[in-house]
Amino acid sequence: MAELAARASTWWAIFQINFYEKLVYRGDFMLGTLMRFLPIVTQIFLWSAIFSARGGGDSAGEEIVGYTYYNIVAYYLLSTISRAFSSMPGLASGIALQIREGEIKKYLIQPLDLISFFLLNRVAHKLTYYIVAAVPFAIVFFICRGYFEGWPPTHVLCAYAFSLILSFMLGFFMEATIGMIGFWFLEVRSLLFVYMLFTFFLSGHMFPLDMLNELGGPWSTIVKSLPLMYLAYFPAAVFLEKITGAELMWGLIVQVGWVVFFIIASRLAFHYGVKQYSAYGG
Amino acid sequence: MNDRPSYGSVFFMFLRNSLVRDLSFRSNFWVECVSSLSWVIMNLGFYLLIFSYTNSIGNDTGWGKWEFFVFLATTLLVNSLVQMFFMPNIQEFSELIRTGKLDFALLKPIDTQFLISFEKVNWPSTANFLFGILLMSISLYQLTHRPNDPIELTVGMVAVYIVFLLCGVAILYSLMIVLAASSIWLGRNTSLYDFWFYITSFSRYPMEIYNAGSLGLTLKMIFTFAIPILIVVNVPARILAQPMGVDPTDKWLLSGYMIVATGLSLLFSRWVFKKSLKSYRSASS
């Protein structure tokens, strides 16, 4: 019992340190968040042009794979929320750098579990991010409220919240696993580039993945069997009620499956990685 | 000994040194080529997907599939030139200011802006440049061989295109210099690259898409006149893809304006650069 209390107080301390550290740069944070919406502005205009070309000058009533122009804009806005949960800037590269520079040994000699420590850091970072970014997000969503058809029913909102939390976990454990590959290949930069490239295009950040359905061939099946789609596409599509009923149930189960898979993968990578590790650096 | 250095031979030396350095790490060189190409190819996939759902970007704008691919190829050519010559140097410039190493550049008997703009050349960007030329050739072949009013390509058009392409590069270069020089006042500028990415995202599509609503027109005005990045790709791409243009007067006005804007941007960036050097307080030693 005492051990548990001690552990809880350690975690609380880690959390607090991060929280206050991040709050120092809140002005920079807010500006950065607002700037993040700039590329979406061009996307909105691009899709407006595409829908108006389909409708001969009028975008009303036109649909692409079940998405109206308003749906598409709402989708882009929602995908920024998914990405606010699932993106882990600097996580994998940070772990790989610590391995290469030998800094990781400080976690090995302390009574701390490395992965839990990093996870807590991220939770603290993300919470701070949401608290500070809530203002710019609220402004943007309020301005764009016309693109939404009101709130979805409660059970959809619950499923949405659940899939967002899962997307955070998935993003974290997937990047942590990639970072651990640094135990074997000290330099993982090109691997990270490939991961970033695939995430950018195949997570649904660029376009709703349903668009691949009508393309024919195996593309849609391939993209939808990757875990990447849970990072941006899946939560947004749940909110817009594009995924419902049994499909939603299965989607969430598969998402949980991927999270468990990457938790185990990161643990295994760490376990075998440490055996491989030779503590470079001073 | 001659007092004035020969800028041509210094530039040639920079080119050669960079090539030697890039080719010393040969596998890294190829990895960089392949990774930047795969980024471009994925983008191309996105536009192919879009054109499976529409046959033009915007109603009656004339930006059909192959016209838009001429536009895309132009974006690629402009960006690869900027990446090849300026991107690594100007990122380095911010770093030189922060660490105080700019002193060494100031002491050299050569124009400081020239030195910090051209010192490194990023050779792997030629992969994107070549891909841009390939995409351009395919698109132009399609446009000149289509059954309904095919485009007639003349040597004059290509020459004018090249001039405007270089104007576009010059405008982006000026913007970069202004952004980087601002780090003298800000101390450091870590989000320089982010800001650059967000701002230039406006130049990536035909300007006709902003013709909708007052927000669109405001953005179009800002990014044409205040920060002239909307014309960087639009003007040269129109010369090849829509030689007659949708509205001929508009086209000539815009082209004329681009020449003026290029001159003004270069002068303005030169002025900001000189001004910033005066405020430079060395942080070294």
* DSSP state letter for B124: G
For residue B95, what pLDDT is reported?
A: 77
**C-alpha distances out from residue B162 to B28, B31, B174, B212, Å:** 31, 30, 18, 31
Mark yes or no for CB contact B42/A197 under 8 Å. yes
Could you tell me if B255 and B164 are in contact, meaning their C-beta atoms sit under 8 angstroms apart?
yes
Find the distance separating the first CA and the last CA of chain B, reported in whole Å. 31
> Could you give the CA distance from residue A223 to residue A229 in angstroms, rounded to a whole number?
7
pLDDT digits (tens, 9 = 90+) for B72-115: 999 999 999 998 888 888 878 877 777 777 787 788 888 888 88
Q: Give the pLDDT score at A228.
A: 93
Per-residue pLDDT at A85: 92
Decide if pLDDT at A243 tops 70.
yes
Q: What is the pLDDT of residue B186?
A: 67
Higher pLDDT, residue B94 or A240: A240
Between chains, do A39 and B50 touch, taking CB under 8 Å as contact? no
Q: Which residues contact B169 (CB under 8 A, 6 or more apart)?
A: B78, B81, B82
- C-alpha B113/C-alpha B93 separation (Å) is 10
pLDDT tens, position by position, B223-233: 888 888 888 88
Structure tokens at A151: 């709130």
pLDDT at B178 over 90: no
Instruction: Report DSSP state, residue A64.
Output: B
Spatial separation of the C-alpha atoms in residues B222 and B142, rounded to whole Å: 34
Task: Kindly state the helix (H) or strand (E) to which residue A134 belongs, with its residue range.
Answer: helix A114-143
B285/A contact by beta carbon, under 8 A: no
Q: Which positions in chain A touch B45 (Cβ < 8 Å)?
A: 201
pLDDT at B137: 94
Residues of B in contact with A212 (CB under 8 A): 49
Which residues of chain B lie closer than 8 angstroms to A38, CB-CB? Answer: 198-199, 201-202
Angle between the B230-241 and B248-278 helix axes, to the nearest 10 degrees?
Answer: 150
Q: Report the alpha-carbon distance of residue B14 to residue B18 in Å, rounded.
A: 6
Among A35, A46, A215, the residue with its CB nearest the CB of B198 is A35
**Residue among A29, A30, A45 with most chain B CBs within 10 A, to mutate:** A45
**Residue positions counted in chain A:** 282
Residue A219 CA to residue A214 CA, distance in Å, equals 10
Q: What is the mean pLDDT of residues A170-190?
A: 87
Q: Which residue of B has its CA nearest to A210?
A: B49
In this prediction, residue B271 has a pLDDT band, given cuts at 50, 70 and 90, of very high
Q: What are phi and psi of A207, to 5 degrees?
A: -160, 155
Give residue B181's pLDDT band: very low, low, confident or very high (50, 70, 90).
Answer: confident
B37 phi, psi to nearest 5 deg:
-70, -40
**What confidence category does residue A255 fall into, taking pLDDT thresholds of 50, 70 and 90?**
very high
Distance, CA of A208 to CA of A206 (rounded, Å): 7
pTM to 2 decimal places? 0.86
Q: What is the pLDDT confidence band of residue A236, given thresholds at 50, 70 and 90? A: very high
Give the model's pLDDT for residue B167.
Answer: 93
Q: Residues 6 or more apart from A262 whose CB is under 8 A from it?
A: A170, A173, A174, A176, A177, A227
Contact B47, B80 (CB under 8 A): no
Q: Is B231 helix (H, G, I), strand (E, B) or coil?
A: helix
Residues 6+ apart with CB under 8 A from A57: B59, B60
Interface of A with B (CB under 8 A): 32, 35-36, 38-39, 41-42, 45-46, 48-50, 52-57, 64, 190, 193-194, 197, 200-201, 206-207, 211-212, 214-215
What share of chain B in percent tops pLDDT 90? 22
Specify the pLDDT at position A29.
67
Residue A92 and residue A72: Cα distance in Å, rounded? 31
Where are the alpha helices (H) located in chain B, listed in sequence order?
Answer: 7-24, 26-50, 65-85, 87-99, 102-107, 112-118, 126-144, 155-181, 183-186, 192-200, 213-221, 230-241, 248-278
